[in-house]
């Protein structure tokens, strides 16, 4: 597995502001993923971030709202822009680690976001 850290672990923000979430991995990985988990819901993939290329967004998520950076093989950021109360969620990053024919995804501890 890998050691994955996220900052901040939680935050309370005012509507209309933006928050940048950092994800750091202790080893080089090709693929990093960002998920959103709304209260009482399952995880939904926001986007896949490859180093050196534009992130690939899932249906319903756009770059203007969730810009992502991937400057190197151990780090990524997700920004939640122009926040509204509907953005209150847990945001999790994950990385794929080769362990067989299909990579297992390991998750960071998550960032709990409350938007007032």
Partner 1 sequence: AQKITQTQPGMFVQEKEAVTLDCTYDTSDPSYGLFWYKQPSSGEMIFLIYQGSYDQQNATEGRYSLNFQKARKSANLVISASQLGDSAMYFCAMREYGNEKLTFGTGTRLTIIP
Whether cis (ω within 30° of 0) applies to the bond prior to 103 is no
Spell out, one character per residue from 53 to 92, where the chain touches partner 1: x when CB under 8 A holds, - when not.
Answer: -----x-------------------------------x-x
Please give the size of the binding site for partner 1, defined by CB under 8 A.
28
Quote the DSSP letter at residue 107.
E
The CA distance from 4 to 110, in Å, is 10
Candidates 21, 94, 113, 115: give the one binding partner 1 (CB under 8 A). Answer: 94
13 or 90: whose CB is closer to partner 1? 90
């Amino acid at each position: 597995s890998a050691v994955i850290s996220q900052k901040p672990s939680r935050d309370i923000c005012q509507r209309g502001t933006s928050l940048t979430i950092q994800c750091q991995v202790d080893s080089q990985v090709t693929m990093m993923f960002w998920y959103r988990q709304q209260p009482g819901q399952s995880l939904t993939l926001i986007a896949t971030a490859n180093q050196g290329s534009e992130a690939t967004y899932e249906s319903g998520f756009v770059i203007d709202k969730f810009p992502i950076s991937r400057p190197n093989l151990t780090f990524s950021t997700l920004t939640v822009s122009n926040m509204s109360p509907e953005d209150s969620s847990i945001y999790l990053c994950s990385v794929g680690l080769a362990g067989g024919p299909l990579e297992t995804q390991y998750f960071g501890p998550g960032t709990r976001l409350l938007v007032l």
